């Protein structure tokens, strides 16, 4: 039976060698898929990912690669073998249901991995893939698999708060971080990695990412975005409001995030900003204005989002909407 380890990450006692991993997902990183969480390297109650950031949670033993929304699961985004090996065990049939309450967690007790696949690669190396979409598991126990072969699809079965695949890499039964397998190395840009050069480039560390940034003619709720529901209301000259919203992941404590909306004349219509009081796995912010008595002027409107960290602009994007 598949099990998902929740103990603190344990690293190799020496740099890994002769074992290389390809990307475990068949999607474009940064546009279709995003690394939400890395393995936790802090031995205590704190949290630290391999790059000295906080993109993890206490005791997390793997890498979480997510889709934007639960609606994206319907596209059938493939989870593939990161290395050649033999299937040890699988599970399928668990529903795709986000865990949102203690009752939800009780329901999946001892099955936190959800639908998944465990592969043995020889020399005591294993990889485990969790939270696959129900009915998508494409291999069975004893099957040989090649690097890049489809194992299933990204879903949100088991203990999942968002649609993703959780990848755990193990050596001698102990979880290690493929981004930084050397326990003697200081956090930061690692000198060693289990990833192939192609995968390493695709999975390069990003200091926060924008999942969505757009205009709307009505208020936007985070639950709408998470579910991938149809876009709220595209603004028109008749819209009672004009709003710009940003949905971002992996922001850090003390990040300064600002959203501004400029009218066709370049003057500000609305602005909203805040300094984060703690790390945010995901965050939404919006700014805008109500329709003026004379109506919306025709022309191009700009929405600008900026995230500043340590006095420097780390994330920025501009969107334009033309009202005719």
| pLDDT tens digits for range 132-158 | 999 999 999 999 999 999 999 999 999
pLDDT at 189: 73
26-51 pLDDT per residue, tens: 999 999 999 999 999 998 898 999 99
pLDDT at 18: 66
Q: Mean per-residue pLDDT for 59-69?
A: 96
Start-end of CATH 2.60.40.2550 domains in the chain: 209-323
Is 2.60.40.2550 the CATH classification of the domain at 209-323? yes
pLDDT at 313: 94
- pLDDT-derived band at 6 (thresholds 50, 70, 90) equals very low
Burial class (CB in 10 A: 0-12, 13-18, 19+), 143: middle
Q: Which of 83-92, 220-229, 273-282 has the lowest mean pLDDT?
A: 220-229
- Read off the pTM: 0.90
For the 33-202 domain, the top CATH level (class) is mainly beta
Q: Render 117-160 in DSSP notation, one character per residue.
A: EEEEEETTEEEEEEEEPTT-----TT-EE-TT-EEEEBB-BSS-
Of 7-21, 83-97, 251-265, 288-302, the one with minimum mean pLDDT is 7-21
Give span(s): CATH 2.70.70.10, the chain.
33-202
Q: Please say whether the dihedral angle defined by the alpha carbons of residues 100, 101, 102 and 103, taken in this order, is positive or negative.
A: negative
Question: What confidence category does residue 231 fall into, taking pLDDT thresholds of 50, 70 and 90?
Answer: low
Average pLDDT over residues 163-184: 93
**pLDDT grade, residue 219 (50/70/90)?**
confident
Work out the mean pLDDT of the chain and round it to a whole number.
92
Helix (H) or strand (E) holding 167: strand 164-171
Kindly state the average pLDDT of the residues 9-35. 78
Q: Residue 148 is encoded by which pair of tokens? A: 């890049």
């Amino acid at each position: 039976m598949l099990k998902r380890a929740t103990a603190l990450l344990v690293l190799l006692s020496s740099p890994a060698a002769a074992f290389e991993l390809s990307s475990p997902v068949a999607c474009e990183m940064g546009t279709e898929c995003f690394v939400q969480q890395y393995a936790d390297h802090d031995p205590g109650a704190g949290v630290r990912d391999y790059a000295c950031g906080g993109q993890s949670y206490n005791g997390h033993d793997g890498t979480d690669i997510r889709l934007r929304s639960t609606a994206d699961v319907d596209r059938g985004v493939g989870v593939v073998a990161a290395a050649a090996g033999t299937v040890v065990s699988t599970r399928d049939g668990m529903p795709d249901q986000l865990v949102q309450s203690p009752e939800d967690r009780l329901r999946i007790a001892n099955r936190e991995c959800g639908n998944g696949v465990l592969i043995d690669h020889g020399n005591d190396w294993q990889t485990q893939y969790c939270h696959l979409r129900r009915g998508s598991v494409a291999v069975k126990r004893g099957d040989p698999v090649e690097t890049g072969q489809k194992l299933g699809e990204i879903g949100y079965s088991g203990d999942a708060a968002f649609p993703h695949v959780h990848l755990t890499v193990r050596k001698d039964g102990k979880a290690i971080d493929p981004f930084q397998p050397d326990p003697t190395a200081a956090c930061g840009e690692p000198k060693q990695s289990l990833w192939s050069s192609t995968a390493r480039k695709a999975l390069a560390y990003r200091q926060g990412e924008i999942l969505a940034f757009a205009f709307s003619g009505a208020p936007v709720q985070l639950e709408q975005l998470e579910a991938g529901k149809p876009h709220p209301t595209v603004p028109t000259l008749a819209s009672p409001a004009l709003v710009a919203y940003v949905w971002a992941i992996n922001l850090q404590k003390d990040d300064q995030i600002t959203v501004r909306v400029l009218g066709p004349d370049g003057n500000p219509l609305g602005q909203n900003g805040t300094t984060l009081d703690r790390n945010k796995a995901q965050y939404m912010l919006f700014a805008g204005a109500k329709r003026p008595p004379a109506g919306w002027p025709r022309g191009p409107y700009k929405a600008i989002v900026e995230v500043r960290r340590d006095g420097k602009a780390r994330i920025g994007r501009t969107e334009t909407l033309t009202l005719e």
